[in-house]
Amino acid sequence: MIEVFRRQLALCKVRPGEVVAVLSMGDSLRDYARAFLAAARQLDAQVVDVNLQGSSSAEDRLKEFGKNPLASDPESMAKLKQADMVIDLLVASFSEQEFEIRNAGARMLLVCEEFEILKRMAPTLELKRRTEASYERLAGAKRFRFANAAGTDITYEFDHQYRSLMEYGFVDEPGRWDHWPAGLVARLAMDGGVNGRVVMNRGDIVYPRMNFLNEPVEFVIAAGQVTSIRGGKEADDLKRWMDDYNDPRAYAVSHIGWGTHTGAEWTLKGIGMDGRSYYGNVLFSLGPNVEFGGTNDTACHLDLPMRDCDAWLDDEQIIANGRLLPKDLRAIGR
Ligand SMILES: [Fe+2]
């Protein structure tokens, strides 16, 4: 583990004398904390172990996005803000405290996946290069359209109201945030700029419900809102799950983009970075958009990765049946 974490810190350009703070809570992921501290020491960094009292697990924390005990812990916040890099094992990411720490200049890496997955999806410079190329194309486009054999045909119109996002699994610049093990790009349409229908196919994944669909589920979308969800029992189950949040903003279409990680598998393992990052997927999402500068902070957040799609940016086809086509986006040998 120390060896794997040291390679990750080296990719994050941790230099001798830099301050690496490792943020954790209680016994949760303490093995990761100890290994990161040891790995950072091997790179001659100064280490700070910020271990908060408490007992909630990473899974618990993931369900409480945006809320964390740092809000009432100025002493720990001061330590984190003085660091050059923060390893977030607490899942303080996606909160006001995350922005505060990054605004102070620290780069921040969220790590809470299972070790087998971290290892298998350890990032590379090649992943960064391809993800950046994907990001530039997506951020520069006016339109994204995608389709699949189940009947999807939907268009996202872009303007420059919102920021785009890329995750390549490491943080090599001051103030940057990322999530190990991610590989994906994402963007929001302009307000009202999503129209068409998405038909998720059997075998596509529903996060965070963590299931594969056994039958197609259709989302009819007009002006950026899901107006109906059709299908069989699974469509009804999904709709009921969304309605339990009692928040009409759950029906807003959120980000769109695709996965870039060739190490990702189409499985339901861990917290689900595999399916979200799966190379050549289309990642369709409903619900919150604050990460992109929007105002929808509904707690109902669906990430819906789909395989075997076709996709176009403006008039160029970039994905054919789940294969990335442009040379700069394609992984070696894929
Ligand atoms: Fe999402």
pLDDT higher at 120 or 57: 120
Banded pLDDT at 292 (limits 50, 70, 90):
very high
Residues 6+ apart with CB under 8 A from 94: 65, 66, 291
pLDDT higher at 291 or 67: 291
Residue 296: the pLDDT is 96
**Is pLDDT of 65 > 90?**
no
**Is pLDDT of 59 > 80?**
no
46 CA → ligand 1 middle, Å: 35
53 CA → ligand 1 middle, Å: 30
Q: d(Cα 248, Cα 257) in Å, to the nearest integer?
A: 23
286 CA → ligand 1 middle, Å: 6
**Is pLDDT of 62 > 90?**
no
285 CA → ligand 1 middle, Å: 5
pLDDT by residue (tens digit) across 136-188?
999 999 999 999 999 999 999 999 999 999 999 999 999 999 999 999 999 99
Q: d(Cα 166, Cα 140) in Å, to the nearest integer?
A: 13
45 CA → ligand 1 middle, Å: 34
255 CA → ligand 1 middle, Å: 6
- How many CB atoms are located within 10 Å of the residue 10 CB? 14
Q: d(Cα 96, Cα 119) in Å, to the nearest integer?
A: 30
300 CA → ligand 1 middle, Å: 10
**Is pLDDT of 61 > 80?**
no
pLDDT by residue (tens digit) across 319-332?
999 999 999 999 98
289 CA → ligand 1 middle, Å: 8
Banded pLDDT at 57 (limits 50, 70, 90):
confident
Banded pLDDT at 55 (limits 50, 70, 90):
confident
pLDDT by residue (tens digit) across 183-211?
999 999 999 999 999 999 999 999 999 99
Residue 205: the pLDDT is 98
3 CA → ligand 1 middle, Å: 32
User: Mean pLDDT across the chain, nearest whole number?
Assistant: 96
214 CA → ligand 1 middle, Å: 22
Residue 219: the pLDDT is 98
Residue 71's identity, in one-letter code, is: A
303 CA → ligand 1 middle, Å: 5
φ, ψ dihedrals at 183, nearest 5°: -160, 95
Residue 214's identity, in one-letter code, is: N
273 CA → ligand 1 middle, Å: 12
4 CA → ligand 1 middle, Å: 28
Residue 54: the pLDDT is 86
Residue 29: the pLDDT is 95
270 CA → ligand 1 middle, Å: 17
298 CA → ligand 1 middle, Å: 11
Residue 80: the pLDDT is 98
Q: What's the order of all strands across the beta sheet hosting 143-147?
A: 225-231, 217-222, 194-200, 153-157, 143-147, 310-313, 316-320, 323-324
Residue 20: the pLDDT is 98
272 CA → ligand 1 middle, Å: 12
- Lowest mean pLDDT, pick from 45-54, 66-75, 177-186, 251-260: 66-75
256 CA → ligand 1 middle, Å: 8
DSSP per position, 295-307: S---S--EEEEES
Residue 268: the pLDDT is 96
pLDDT higher at 54 or 132: 132
257 CA → ligand 1 middle, Å: 10
79 CA → ligand 1 middle, Å: 30
Q: d(Cα 223, Cα 252) in Å, to the nearest integer?
A: 9
Residues 6+ apart with CB under 8 A from 21: 47, 48, 49, 50, 79, 80, 82, 83, 85, 86, 87, 106
**Is pLDDT of 58 > 90?**
no
Stretch 33-44: mean pLDDT: 98
CA 272 to chain centre: 9
Q: Global pTM? A: 0.95
73 CA → ligand 1 middle, Å: 29
